[in-house]
Each structure stands twice: as structure tokens, then as C-alpha cells.
Structure 1
Amino acid sequence: MPIEIQEITSKKGLKDFVRFQWKLYKGVAPYVPPVMDFELSALSKEKNPAFEHSEGRFWLAYKDGEAVGRVAGIIHGAEAEKEKKIRFGWIDFIDDYDVSKALIDTVQEWGKSEDLEVIHGPLGFTDLDFEGTLISGFNQMATQATLYNYPYYQDHFENMGFEKAVDWTETRIKVPPGIGGDLNRAADLIGRRYGMQIKKFKSGKEILKYADQVFELLNESYSHLYGYYPLSEKQIKYFIDQYFGFVVKDMVALVNDKEDQVIGFAVTFPSLSKAFKKAKGSLYPFGFLHVLKAFYFNDTVDFFLVAAKKEYQNKGLHALLWSSLYEAFVKHKIKYVFSGQMLEDNKNVNNLLTKYESAKDEEIRRRCFTKTIV
């Protein structure tokens, strides 16, 4: 039977688009379902300010009347203009080459109609969306901010002529006992030498006044990363509203200079992976109880964002961040730290975390694929 591709244009269709992955990965232990409300917000022209400078189209693939795949096509305005690229993301499919090829061909045809020359992905509208195809680490539970997929995805992409653009790796460590004193001494020495100080907060609300500076630094320090384009003021507000209302005050580390300007930060969250699995994609009526419990009873944290001003990166700033977070980890009895995705050449953070005992038995690696549109 031929593959039928249908473009999604309604809210009901978007819900079907999101639900497809739940069916595809039903019973797969490492898979963590996203929350429906968060996904619909990211895919909504009315809610996501990324649509002000980007275009997004969404398709479902059907075979014998049954949904067998999905894909998003994204034209990021600045990227399309400068690099002639189109993105694909939110891609999932059964192990049928005709299905995966039909999905990618659909995105490519859109790109060709817009005179674009390269297709790459999986990527989202921004670096804070889901990105990368899992190519190793299939036995590890995904974090709430990372994708899971079946091993056959890589073969499908390579059979279509895709090549590696970049890889992201994920480090998972056991929190080492008894290093607080050494970290504090190093942080104190480095802080006094270079005029850096760790900010302390009495409440999560106090962190909000630095949120704009955090995202300004993110734009500055991530500007050279693959596929990253600066977030607009509206996008910054969107992500502040979406995430910063949930932060645990001592699990956010800020390092400021003498003028109280943010020069480095690390934002971590208690792991919500198990909570999201129990919630099954919905916060209501009971899913939020699992999430709330995860904030207060958890032995694992996930890194969400980490950045530092370039001129301070080789002056030990990461030691101050780690010192601040280690204190919180001990206080909250955290046993495991998951780094989240980092480009494989991010030596500063990778070298810091790989000094400690690993909490995984297989490398976790995700890949962005690219090819010329023919």
C-alpha cells in the first residue's frame, strides 16, 4: 500500500501528532513521554514566539489507514537566509524505509520550493527544543529534555544519504562524597583572585530578577554552537515563564562579578523522567502530583542550562558553579547528576564531570544529520 502524507493544520491534528510517539514507544522502559500541554505550546503559532521569525509545518504518515510516522519541517528565518538550510524535527516512524523516506521527502520538497539547499536535523525551533537522534545509550532512561528513539533510526537516515553534522554526548555521574571542603576552598581562592562571587538566594522569586541576564549570557556564549541562533526578547520571556517558575532556589547556581552582573550560571532541576512516565503525558487531573512529589523526593538532578562568559571560562569559574551545586546536592541527598546534552567538543564541562564515577554502563550519544537537497 502507498504511504499517504497528511499535513496537520488543526489543534486536534496536533494532538494526534503528539500522541503518535506514545503509541510507537508504548512499553519501552527508557522512553519518557513529554507533557501534551508543553508540546502543543511549542507547536502553536499562537503561543510560541519562534513563529515570528520561523515557519513550521507538520505531517503525519498513514499506511492502510493507520498512522505510521510523523515529522515537522522548520524554516528558521536567519538560518535559511544565511545557510540555505531547512530543519526537520519531531520525527518518529515505524521500521519501514518507505515511511521514513516519504516523511523526509516531504520536508525536502518544501525546502526545494523555498530555494533551500541543505536539510538537517532532528532539530527544533531553538536549541532548547528536543534535538538529536539517539545512536547509543538505548538502555538509559531519557531525561525530560532529551529524545528517545529506536536503534533503527540511524540506519534509515544513513540509507537516505545523511551524514553526521555534530554529536551531543550526555554524562551521568554518581555524586562523589566528601569533596565539599576542597571545592569550597578552590572556589573561595578563585573567587577572590578574579572578583567572582556565588549568589545566594532566599527564595526562587529572587532568581527571577537575574533571568534576563541568564538568557542574555546564553545568547552570547552559545552563539558559536551548531544550529544556535539568539533568542528574541519574546522568546526569552516565553522560556522564563515556562521554566523559571519551577526552579528550586539552591539548585540554580549563579556567579556574578563585582558589579553584580551574571558571568556564569548552571540551572538544574530534580529529575522528572519517572514523574512524566507516571503522568503519561498529562498534568491533569493527577499527573501534577507525580511531578510535585519528584521536586521534593528525588535522588537525581538534570542539568538544564549551563554557560559562562568566555573571558572567565579558563579562570576556574566552573569550580564556583560546582561548589554551589554540590552544597545543594548534599543538602537534598542527591546521588546522581545527569548532564543533559553537550556538544562532544565542550571540553570545559565534559572534563569536569568525567573526573567522577560514571552512573551509566553505555555511552549516551545523539546525532544531528545533514545532507544536500537533491
Structure 2
Amino acid sequence: MKDVRIKKVQSKHEMDDFIKFPERLYEGCPYYVPDMESDVRDTFDPKKNAGLEFSEMQPFVAYDGEGRVVGRITGIINRHANEKWKTRNVRFGFIEFVDDRDVSEALLAAVEEWGRERGMEYIQGPMGIFDFDKEGMLVDDFDQTGSMITIYNYPYYPEHMEALGYEKEVDWVQIRIDIPETVPAKYARVARLSKEMFGLHVRKLNQKDIDNGYGRRVFQLLNEAYSPLFGYTEMSDRQIDLYVDRYFPLINPEMLPVIENDKGELVGVAITMGSLSSALRKSRGRLLPFGWYHLLKALKWKHDEKAELLLIAVRPDYQGLGVNALFFDDLIPIYNRLHYKWAETGPQLESNVKELSQWKPLNPKLVKRRRCYRKRIGCSAPGSSREEACQTSAS
């Protein structure tokens, strides 16, 4: 397909093309789970995405010679991340394309050039602004259903990336477990010792706790625990408040244990919920006219057999003191009572051995490997001020 046109999204019509393209691309695919269209639109709205206070985003759409949409991508420059990690990276996200090398090459070239124009030296992705945005291109297990927090893509995607000179930067994996009928003895023993020796206890939050600031404390703990991890950018208070308002109402308080010490300080949190994958597929990513019903049904009345272990965080000075055992000791009986049969984590860095080792008593399976790709894109044309900036940053 030689006649590929790449357009910057600048109009409502082009944004509609950007948002609706995956529905056509994945039509009939039983594993794809759509984003909520409203969430995608909000990503580009400064009033609803606090990350745009310190980031640039530019969406692009690819059209063929007949004006049909054949791909999309977004360029992202996160200034806070570049300052924190001392990098000059442009990120790409929201990447989707038909199985045509000319299309994928043109989309990535558009972001590469957009980044070069702004003095960037490398391109990396798929990533978002925040670590809690979807990140990592699926590189295996394409025959397993996705989730509301992860990327699904066809098997040809990584083939295109490698052919275009992109290399692995990091991989994430997910953990799948069958929920046991009883708490494994190791977890029960460690949980008991943690309570006795360190004064730790489980607390369940209610809406009043969240409204009175505990929701913000949870995300502040996530900032502290995740700060050293690859590419992480700390959330601002405004972004935290947006997340609290958007996501906490979806979670059953029973499935959100927090761990406190004997001073009432928050030292750990596990954010889990029932899977919304089936509901999102039925809703096709829209609340109207009947998408809201499928989501409400999954949240309140009849849920999937799968639980999502979205996030687990422990304050650094309490890591290794049995906090994770307290989570499992609390959650396994609840999952059984609510009739969940199996659970799956969000993506976890394959290099985070401490995080991955906590699952051993549950006979975990590693599934759905995802990859962040990276490529050097160089600097702007010789003699330009941006080239001088690149040379200065590299010296």
C-alpha cells in the first residue's frame, strides 16, 4: 500500500476516525477488549487529563488512497519523565494498523519526525503518560482474552516492529493463578507473624474514608512504591483526584484491602476487582444506548469468574515484612465467597524478581508477555538549534 497519507488529528471528524478505527480492525476478534470511547477522548482533554500539564500529545491517523482509515498512533513527550530519567524520549501509544508494512512504517515515522523536531533522541513504546496507562505490545498468547487495563494486538504487530528496526527495551509479564479453596499455609503463617511482630492489620475502606482523603493516600503510596520502576512518572494531586473519582466507584470495597501499622499509617494496598472484559466487549466501548447496562450488571449482579489483581503496592520500608501475605490471607476467602475461579495480575516487569516471587505458593503461570520497544531516531537537520540541543544533552 504505497498511497498512505498521515494526518495530524486536528478536527472532530479526524478524532472520530482515530477513536473508531479499532472497532473495525478487531471486528470478529474474540480476544480484543475495547477501550471506552469516552476514556480515549478524555485522554486528549486538558480538563480531564492532568498529565497534559507537563506532556505533549499529538495523535495521527493513516488513510489509504480511497480515504479509508488504516491506522492510528499518538506521539507523547513526557517532560517530567525525561527530566527524572535524564532521557530525550518521545513515546508512542494508541498504535493500531492493518497488516501492511507501509502503514506501520509511515505511522511510526510520523512520531519519529515529530519527536526529532522537538529535540528527542529516542522513540519508545507503546506507553502512555503515566505508568497506569496501557503500555507494552503483546508479543505472545494472542489467543487469550485481554482486559480493561491492557493492550491487545494481533500477532503481526511485533513482526512489523522488528522489521522496522525497533528493539526490546523492557518486557512485562502477567501472572495467572487458580484461586485455591483455602489460604496456602505459608501465607497464613506469615500473615499471623506480621500481625504479631509488626502490628499490621487489614482495613477495608468505605466511601466516607475515600471522600475524606484516604483515596488520595492510596495513590500517594503508589507513587512512593513505584517511583524506582521503569519509566514511572509520579502523579500530581490533580491526577490522583481524577483517578479516585473515576475508578474507586467501580471497585467493591471488600476487594480493596489496605494494610496499616499500629500507628494507623498506610503501608500497603491491593486494588482488585471483578473482570469487566465481557461487559466491555458487549458494550463495544460505549455507554449509550445500552453499554451502561452491561457494565452495571458485571459490577453489581452477575460477574465473570475472573478477578483482576490490578495493583499491589507496599511502602518501601515495609517490603519483606509479610504485607503481601496479609493481602492473600484476606482476599482468597473473599474471592471464594464471591465465586471467582481464577485471577490475573496487571503487567509486571520481568526484571522485578521480588514482585514475581511473591506468587510462588499459588503455582502461578506467566502469561501475556508485553514489550516496550526502543529505537534511536537521531537529531534534527545539521545546523539546526535542535541538533545543538541534542549534542549538548549527550555531552
Question: Of 100, 123, 126, which residue of structure 2 is paired with 1:122?
Answer: 126
Question: Where does structure 2 lack aligned partners over 5 or more consecutive residues?
Answer: 379-395
Deviation per CA, 1:238-274: give whole Å up to 9, x if none.
1111101222010001001122121111101110000
- Which of residues 73, 87, 91 in structure 1 aligns to 2:75? 73
Q: In structure 2, how many angstroms separate the alpha carbons of the residues matched to 1:98 and 1:44? A: 30
Of 300, 316, 323 in structure 2, the residue corresponding to residue 317 of structure 1 is 323
Matched with 1:84 is 88
Asked if the contact 1:180/1:326 (under 8 Å) is kept, the reply is no
User: Is contact 1:180–1:327 with CA below 8 Å preserved after alignment?
Assistant: no
**Does residue 54 of structure 2 align to residue 53 of structure 1?**
yes
Flag the 1:210–1:305 CA change in 2: closer, same or farther, 3 A. Answer: same
Which one-letter code corresponds to 1:160 in the other structure? L
> In 2, are the aligned partners of 1:135 and 1:154 still within 8 Å (CA)?
yes
Alignment partner, residue 206 of structure 1: 209
Q: CA RMSD in A?
A: 1.7
Give 1:184 shift: 4.3
State which of 279, 282, 297 in structure 1 corresponds to 2:302: 297
Q: Deviations over 1:269-324 (max 9, x none)?
A: 11000000000111122111111111232221111221101121111110011112
For the Cα contact (< 8 Å) 2:186–2:361, is it kept in 1?
no
1-structure distance, mates of 2:77, 2:232: 14
Structure 2 counterpart of 1:25, one-letter code:
Y
Q: Deviations over 1:11-38 (max 9, x none)?
A: 3422221111111111110100111111
In the alignment, which of 238, 255, 258 is matched to residue 242 of structure 2? 238
Of all paired residues, the percent bearing the same amino acid is 37
Are 2:17 and 2:69, in contact at CA under 8 Å, matched by a contact in 1?
A: no
Contact 2:74/2:94 (8 A) holds in 1: yes
Number of the residue aligned with 2:150: 146
For residues 181 and 357 of structure 1, do their structure 2 counterparts lie closer, same or farther at Cα, with a shift above 3 Å needed? closer
340-349 vs 20-29, which deviates more?
340-349
Which residue in 2 is equivalent to 1:179? Answer: 183
- Give the whole-Å Cα distance in 2 for the aligned partners of 1:271 and 1:28: 18
Q: Distance in 2 between matches of 1:273 and 1:370?
A: 30
1:17 corresponding residue in structure 2: 18
Q: Using the alignment, how far apart are the partners of 2:16 and 2:240 within structure 1? A: 25
Partners of 1:49 and 1:310 in 2: how far apart? Answer: 26
- The Cα of 1:345 is off from its aligned counterpart by 2.2
Q: Residue 352 in 1 paired to residue 358 in 2?
A: yes
In structure 2, the residue matched to 1:260 is 264
Contact 1:165/1:367 (8 A) holds in 2: yes
Contact 1:135/1:365, CA 8 A, preserved across alignment: yes
1:170 is aligned, of 163, 167, 174, to 174
Residue 368 of structure 1 deviates from its aligned partner by 0.2
Aligned equivalents of 1:178, 1:76: Cα separation in 2: 45
Pick one of 157, 161, 165 that aligns with 2:165: 161
Q: Say which SS state the counterpart of residue 31 (structure 2) adopts.
A: coil
- Once residues 184 and 233 of structure 1 are traced to their aligned partners in structure 2, the CA distance between those partners, rounded to angstroms, is 36
Work out the CA distance in 2 between the residues paired with 1:180 and 1:363: 22
Amino acid at match of 1:68: V
Task: Write the distance in 2 (CA, Å) between the matches of 1:43 and 1:269.
Answer: 27
SS in 1 for 2:334: helix
Report if the CA contact (8 A) 2:183-2:333 is conserved.
no
Amino acid corresponding to residue 103 of structure 1 in structure 2: L
Q: Aligned equivalents of 2:122 and 2:142: distance in 1?
A: 29
List per-residue Cα deviations over 1:331-372 (Å, max 9, x = no partner). 2111111111111122334223243245x7x83100000011
- 1:291 & 1:102 partners in 2: Cα distance? 37
Using the size of structure 1 for normalisation, the TM-score is 0.95
Q: 1:40 maps to which residue?
A: 41
The residue type paired with residue 26 of structure 1 is E
> 1:176 is aligned with what amino acid?
P
User: d(CA) in 2 for partners of 1:257 and 1:41?
Assistant: 37
Q: Aligned partner of 2:235: which letter?
A: L
Q: Greater shift after overlay, 282-291 or 147-156?
A: 282-291
Q: Is the 1:176–1:357 contact (alpha carbons within 8 Å) kept by the matching residues of 2?
A: no
Bigger CA drift: 141-150 or 11-20? 11-20
Q: Distance in 2 between matches of 1:97 and 1:12?
A: 26
Following superposition, the deviation at residue 69 of structure 1 comes to: 0.6
